Amino acid sequence: MQCRRRITLSISNPRVEADEGDLLSLDVFPDMTLEALQNLIQAEAHIDPQAQHIYHNGQLITDKNKTMSDLGIADHDMLALHVRDRHPQIEPGIRGPPQPARPIQQDPELIRLQILGNAQLRAELQRQQPEMANALEDPQRFAELFNASFDRDRRERLERQQAIERLNEDPFDVEAQARIEEMIRQERVMENLQNAMEHNPEVFGRVHLLYADVEVNGYKMKALVDSGAQATIMSPQCAEACGIMRLVDKRFAGIARGVGTANILGRVHAAQIKIGNLFLPCSFTVMEGKNVELLLGLDMLKRYQATIDLVKDKLIIQGEEIPFLGEADIPKGVEEALEEEPKVPGPAGTTIGGRSGVVSPPSQSAAAGPSGSRPAAAATPQPAPRPAAPQAAPRPAAPAQSPFPEEAVQQLMALGATRERAIRALHQTGGNVEYAAAAIFEDF
Among residues 107, 170, 173, 226, which one is catalytic?
226
Give the strand pairing for 219-225 and 211-216: antiparallel
Q: Is 48 a catalytic residue?
A: no
Question: How many Å apart are CA 274 and CA 156, to the nearest integer?
Answer: 60
The Cα–Cα gap between 149 and 376 comes to 10
Q: What is the chain's Cα-based Rg?
A: 32
Print burial letters for 289-314: b (CB count within 10 Å at least 16), e (below 16).
Answer: ebebbbbbbeebbeeeebeeeeeeeb
Q: What is the rounded distance in angstroms from the CA atom of residue 399 to the CA atom of residue 406?
A: 11
Point out the residues that are catalytic: 226
